[in-house]
Chain A
């Protein structure tokens, strides 16, 4: 790692001020993407602003038809939360399968969402559930927020403070992990809310998380794995690497989508 200065504000507002004031600064949440990158000397911020002491960024609350999760809530806390388990069990399941137990003790929803790693799990849940990303400045729908590989709509000095998930009537998540890294090679989150069905895919897209309209249409007719029989995702626009070429990944999207639907309907 290169040297940097370290700051630990005690509120999101203080953090935002520091972020603007300190040149070439970066926020650090759980640090499980940033620190490995810095260790390899592939990132060299001159200041780190640690959000770990901001109580206003923590916590999980049920607000009417929404579950609101503070940005600094860890994956383990989301997985173990009775509110999340009750309202959106698929989200608790997803959080409980990110990385490994030790990573889940440090990694946070805000960090994951703000980083928008194409192999991260959370973006698929946000997109499928129609979540809203709340920042210190504004509210953004997931589809507005995620703009590309590692890219989001976040502006200078803007900090994700919480994520608000509308409660779905049915939701499920299935992922196929990269055998080596254990990141999502293909992750599919399906959600049914009223008459709307969304299918969001992470890990597979050249441009990051995306929706699969054909599957959504098929599931809207009938929300069952069978509805996806014979439906194939195109390999165009799908990532390829030595673990999975575009054709195989595209195939896995279909398989994971079926598994996610089966989970959603409790089969």
Chain B
């Protein structure tokens, strides 16, 4: 392993600009003559609009234009789309209502977009927005996930009972049969709490229009600028793709929330032409809370059947999923194909049946948030495993190991074909790291100082490397989920890689360069990674679903293969040897059995000089592109163990130890991978202990700022003990599985399993805030007293 190659903890190439304040985020972009947009948002969760009077506002100082849904409609600008078709149990398509970028006669959640004001300054735009008179007729709000279907108030006429779909997966008859023969059935009711992604950089957009060429440019906070361009062109109708350039510069975190195509960027780029000026919009944090797509929000009943020996026989799950007021870009896939296929966990489960009812409510749209469906599935199966072990009087680690899948490939009853893994190895290592044997003593020590100590497990699995295009197409996806790469070798042997992946914190400029440096044998400083600009990178699918390593880098790998193949042809000419006799290793092309060789840089120069190619025999140049379409999902898996202590006096939970053992397959940069694990765990701990988006009965978001929505801070978290096991992924050339979401998927059940272990009962929901834990601890104490 070289100091900068695959497997090395190379310090990040991109960091210099970030630590010196030279990062370039969308809000840092300023175009000459730029105006500012402010969106007038609905204060009501549900209302019809009988009129919008912009007259007084339009004449206020600095106002350049005020636009409503009617203006978008007049310009034939289409609504926002949902890119994944889900079918009901009866085969009929899901019932989706329209999603206009600016309201058309009705608003459906607090924060819904009513009008936009474009003015010389943001303050002037806000002033004018206050002068717009909107005639609302309020309707009752539908807020609650569990009861939305029967609420009696209809949010979209297309979905008369507020149900988007009733979907299912698995074999109901086989599962019923398995339950009929069970010795024990564990039943749980679970709520997966609604979360707000809260990337630290708020969403932003700068739209620009070049009237000379008729070209639009959109700078936007996007995880996938090409998909944004595709949707804005082909579906929304801003402009043809060749007349629309989308640039996602440095993006300050996404966690899923910047995958989607939102109203604001649509309106900003369109309005730039309307007012003849660049138009900038940046969300403030409250707007982010109100209008970024939220995550999770499931209500689930689940049952696990076991035989007399503790072997799992079957799993039944019924989930109600809240999709909010409109279907966001990938919302329908999250509680369906990103959820139910992961319910088998790491276990041999012969029969699984899952039903999902997805509902509209008068809340912000819900879509993918770090993990997207897989944390929800992991929470279901890992809570069931822990509770079942307790009910059967078994050690939770041993009970899991008893039911682990041991032979691969393994076909689950819910679509997935697990290709490789060694679940027992991760568990064994995690048990050592946390000193499981010493837990009893630590628990007694805690008890002596009046504290309740608990330990909780989570054996998670996820499907990443999203995804084989044919497979997702058959499941309803509107796009294929391959990735593209272009490797451009310059005449002096430096390399530019253009990738369709997008880095918004993942460190692609470093890890992708490591791959190139390693394979071409050139210094890492000679490699630049270019992404996030549709004028530079031809096409790409972006970064989400832990796919950039497994899919994005595989595309680069493929393109490098082609570069090496072409380089061999060049070298054969230069070295006057047969192409079949050329080897490439350590940055040199050489002739087998001789000492004749050509270093990579000289080969590149010869490729462009092209003096020795004899006419048509070989094209000059050294530049290759590749599209990589995965053949299977990848299956990162691992074991996280959380040990914590509760102060029953205050209800404060302190995490004392955290052992994480993850199998991500081969690793390019362990420093970056561990960083991804840390961040993921923090978000999962946030979900378990701190975070929860709450709407009141009128549909007002009660947690609309950091004053009320509890973000994890440094002193809420411990340091994490992170370890790895490695079973290479067989389905991609680098053996990579993906690491971006694992921490967020694994951690919530580990925390709740530890809390319930400490409490001695299961009666606690997420987030387990001090108030909730205090109340639950009182119950533990009164139970102990009664015994």
Contact = CB atoms under 8 A, between A and B. Distances in A.
CB–CB under 8 A between A and B in the complex? yes
A252 B769 contact: no
Contact of A248 (B126, B706, B771): B771
B776 to A, nearest CB: 12
Interface in A170-189: 176, 179-181
B760 interface: no
Given A179-B690, A180-B709, A181-B707, A244 B123 contact: no
Interface in B114-144: 123, 126
A58 B708 CA distance: 34
A263 to B, nearest CB: 15
A1 interface: yes
B649 A255 contact: yes
Contacts of A221: none
B775 interface: yes
Contact of A244 (B703, B709, B771): B771
Contact of B770 (A179, A181, A242): A179
B702 interface: yes
A180 B286 CA distance: 15
Interface in B339-385: none
A180 B710 contact: yes
B651 to A, nearest CB: 8
A40 B770 CA distance: 29
A261 to B, nearest CB: 14
Interface in A199-257: 242-245, 248, 251-252, 255
B706 A245 contact: no
Contacts of A41: 126
Nearest to A100: B713
Q: Is the interface of B mostly helix, strand, loop or mixed?
A: loop
B769 A255 contact: no
Nearest to A180: B710
Given A248-B775, A255-B649, A255-B650, A180 B707 contact: yes
Name which of A40, A180, A243 has the most chain B CB atoms within 10 A of its CB: A180
A144 B679 CA distance: 50
Contacts of B650: 176, 252, 255
A40 B707 CA distance: 13
B429 interface: no
Size category, B interface: 20 to 34
Interface string B632-674: 0000000000000000011100000000000000000000000
A180 B711 contact: yes
B697 to A, nearest CB: 13
A1 B123 contact: yes
B706 A243 contact: no
B710 A179 contact: yes
A40 B123 CA distance: 12
Contact of A251 (B690, B708, B711, B774): B774
A248 B650 CA distance: 9
Nearest to B690: A179
Size category, A interface: 10 to 19
Contacts of B711: 180
Contact of A181 (B651, B694, B708, B769): B708
Interface string B688-703: 0010001000000011
Nearest to B707: A181
Contacts of A243: 708, 769, 771
Given A245-B771, A248-B771, A252-B650, A180 B702 contact: no
Interface in A29-86: 40-41
Q: Is the interface of A mostly helix, strand, loop or mixed?
A: loop
Contacts, number: 39
Nearest to B708: A180
Contact of B694 (A3, A242, A251): A242
Nearest to B770: A179
Contacts of A252: 650
Nearest to B706: A180
Nearest to B651: A248
Contacts of B710: 179-180
A225 to B, nearest CB: 12
Contacts of A255: 649-650
Interface in B31-85: none
B705 to A, nearest CB: 9
Contacts of A244: 770-771
A6 to B, nearest CB: 16
Given A179-B690, A180-B708, A248 B123 contact: no
A179 B771 CA distance: 10
Nearest to A176: B650
Contacts of A245: 771
B706 A181 contact: yes
A252 B651 CA distance: 10
B707 to A, nearest CB: 4
A41 B122 CA distance: 13
Contact of A242 (B651, B702, B706, B774): B702
Contacts of A3: 123
A62 B709 CA distance: 42
Nearest to B647: A255
A255 B694 CA distance: 28
Interface string B585-624: 0000000000000000000000000000000000000000
Interface in B268-299: 286
A40 B702 CA distance: 16
A68 to B, nearest CB: 33
A242 B767 CA distance: 12
A252 B774 CA distance: 10
B706 A179 contact: no
Given A176-B650, A179-B769, A248-B771, A242 B708 contact: yes
Interface in B695-753: 702-703, 706-711
Contacts of B702: 242
Interface string A1-25: 1010000000000000000000000
Name which of A1, A40, A244, A248 has the most chain B CB atoms within 10 A of its CB: A248
Nearest to B711: A180
Contacts of B703: 180, 242
Contacts of A181: 706-708
Nearest to B694: A242
Contacts of B123: 1, 3
Interface in A142-192: 176, 179-181
Nearest to B713: A182
A266 to B, nearest CB: 19
B707 A248 contact: no
Contacts of B649: 255
A252 B702 CA distance: 23
Contacts of A180: 690, 703, 706-711
30 contacts: A1-B123, A3-B123, A40-B286, A41-B126, A176-B650, A176-B770, A179-B690, A179-B769, A180-B690, A180-B706, A180-B708, A180-B709, A180-B710, A180-B711, A181-B706, A181-B707, A181-B708, A242-B703, A242-B708, A243-B769, A243-B771, A244-B770, A244-B771, A248-B651, A248-B771, A248-B774, A248-B775, A251-B774, A255-B649, A255-B650
Given A176-B650, A242-B702, A244-B770, 12 more contacts: A40-B286, A179-B770, A180-B709, A180-B710, A180-B711, A181-B706, A181-B707, A181-B708, A242-B694, A243-B769, A243-B771, A255-B650
Chain A to chain B: the 8 pairs with minimum beta-carbon distance, closest first: A180-B710, A181-B707, A179-B710, A248-B771, A255-B649, A180-B708, A244-B771, A255-B650
Interface of A: 1, 3, 40-41, 176, 179-181, 242-245, 248, 251-252, 255
